[in-house]
Amino acid sequence: MTDFLKNTLGLSPAVADALVVFIAVNILVAFVAGSAIFFIWLERKVCGRIQDRLGPTRVGGKFGWLQTIADGIKLLVKEDLIPGDADQMLFRLGPYIAFCGAFMAFIALPFADGWVAKPLSIGVFFMLAVMSTEVFGIILAGYGSGSKWALFGGMREAAQMVSYEVPMALCVLVPVIVAGSMDLNYVAKQQDWLWNWYVFHDPFTFVAFWTYFCCATAQCKRAPFDLAEAESELVAGFHTEYSGLRWSFFFMAEYGAMFAVSGIAVNLFLGGWNIGFLPNWIQAHMGIFANLLGVVVFVLKAWLLVFVMMWVRWTLPRLRIDQVMMTCLKYLLPISCALLLGVGLWQALMPVIVGRIFSIVLCALSVAALGWLVYTLLTTFTKLPSGGVPNLWTPTGSARRDLAKT
């Protein structure tokens, strides 16, 4: 794009580079904000369906989108309060540092072949490094609020995030060793066909994907690891004293981090923007449409992983803080170290033909298992009564009359 601006508009290299950076930053900000709005709507619908909650399945128009808009307007016009005992500067600074840590990760995240704000040969390392700075905003928010509940939530979340970053980074190194590069664009390009996806490369990368996803869920403060927001103990954790727009920045950071860690998983394990069954020579003749298709495929894969995070949140109960730390230090950390050692030995000792056969067999078994799951779900729905799944929240008979009286 820089060459296009220089050659077509006659701009100097410095001005063209600055204009490209400005356009890329605005596109990323709009994407992060739009994704946060979409995820808020999606999470409300997911929790409503899984837990049979009346409100999310009924309120806000046909698809519930009006409720999200109403929430956004409420946050914009809500009074911005700062506690009297709070540190004025730290209290204001915390949400913005947390959001910047999650937003900067998108700078090195490729959405398609070459479609990245800033190509980096150490893209994985950069993303993990900048996302770890989110913890500073959380600590400042908890400490600067002048509340013991916010302080407890901030310290608890800092311990959790720092602990889970270690096994998560070790799991990231597993596909990096296979690819021989930390450039996410290069790693994704190596996974053109479905059986070339690194999740099927060997048993260690297969287990590393699930271990990484578990650590990423905890690193994003998602249930069952959301001990920083344990309402029964801490009211709301590190953001107890926040309201209005500053409160929304914490949730924009959380949803942005969810997409960022899902994007890393897609590029490292799930083929990136590659569909898995479309040859590269066909994509080469599609021009810009190949990249547009790649963006759609990449975003859908990342959204699917985000949906799984929401599914887990509204299905599993919350763990205690000692269980959260024990899961990381006693189980996930040794497992990730074993995976790192195992993939190194696999790369050094396993013949190429054996590795290729294993990846094809593992891919076939995974596709067969997925097909069986889809078939089971479809046959289960066909066996339901003609009315479908009974909706326990639909008021009928005397319940409707009681509601009318109220």
- Residue with structure tokens 């269980």? 323
Give yes or no for a contact between 227 and 319, defined as CB atoms under 8 angstroms apart. Answer: yes
CA–CA dist 305, 255 (Å, integer) = 12
Amino acid letter, residue 206: F
Angle of helix 123-131 relative to helix 244-269, nearest 10 degrees, comes to 150
pLDDT confidence band for 99 (50 / 70 / 90) = very high
For residue 5, the model assigns a pLDDT of: 57
Q: What is the DSSP letter of 320?
A: P
Token pair belonging to 30 = 């709009």
Answer whether residue 391 shows pLDDT above 60: no
- Encode pLDDT of 292-346 as tens digits: 989 999 999 999 999 999 999 889 888 888 899 999 999 999 999 999 999 999 9
Give the residue extent of every domain in the chain. Answer: 1-77, 81-350
The conformational region for residue 64 under phi > 0 = left, psi -120 to 50 = alpha, else beta, is: left
Answer whether residue 128 shows pLDDT above 90: yes
CA–CA dist 164, 218 (Å, integer) = 7
CA–CA dist 185, 208 (Å, integer) = 20
CA–CA dist 303, 262 (Å, integer) = 8
Q: Per-residue DSSP letters for 37-66?
A: HHHHHHHHHHHHHHTT-HHHHHSSSSSSHH
Answer whether residue 400 shows pLDDT above 50: no
For residue 403, the model assigns a pLDDT of: 44
Cα-based distances in Å from 322 to 135, 319, 327 = 20, 8, 8
Task: Count how many residues are written for the chain.
Answer: 406
Smallest CA-to-CA distance from 301 within 277, 278, 279, 269 is with: 269
Among residues of the chain, what percentage have pLDDT more than 90?
48
Answer whether residue 399 shows pLDDT above 60: no
Token pair belonging to 151 = 């302080």
Cα-based distances in Å from 121 to 10, 66, 94, 183, 288 = 30, 43, 30, 5, 23
Smallest CA-to-CA distance from 346 within 182, 171, 175, 192 is with: 175
Give yes or no for a contact between 136 and 101, defined as CB atoms under 8 angstroms apart. Answer: yes
- Encode pLDDT of 236-272 as tens digits: 788 889 988 898 899 899 999 999 999 999 999 999 9
Neighbours of 277 (CB within 10 A): 8
